Amino acid sequence: MKLAKFCRFKQGIDESWRNLVAHLTMTHAMGGADALTFNPPSWTIGAEFYTYFLFVGFLVLTAGRRFGLGVAAILILIIAGIYAWLAAIKPNMDITYDYGFYRCIAGFFIGVLAARLFRNGPSATIQKYATPLEIGLLTASVLFIIYCEGKLQFLAGPFLFGFVYLFAHDGGLVSRFMRGWVFTYLAKISYSVYMIHVIIAIAFAIGAEQVLGRAMPDWNATGWGGDLLLLPYLAVVIGASHLTYHLIELPGGKAVRKLFSGVTKHSPKTPPTLKGDA
Per-residue pLDDT of 147-180, as tens digits, reads 999 999 999 999 999 999 999 999 999 999 999 9
- pTM higher than 0.85 for the full model? no
SS3 of 36, please? coil
Which runs of consecutive H residues, i.e. helices, occur in the chain?
A: 2-6, 17-24, 43-61, 69-89, 100-119, 124-128, 130-147, 157-168, 173-178, 181-188, 190-207, 213-215, 224-244, 250-261
Q: Where are the domains of the chain?
A: 181-271
- What is the per-residue pLDDT for 273? 43
Residues of the chain with pLDDT under 50: 1-12, 264, 266-267, 270-278
- What is the per-residue pLDDT for 142? 95
Alpha carbon 235 to its chain's center:
21
- What is the per-residue pLDDT for 110? 96
CA atoms of 49 and 108, how far apart (whole Å)? 11
- What is the per-residue pLDDT for 67? 82
- What is the per-residue pLDDT for 14? 62
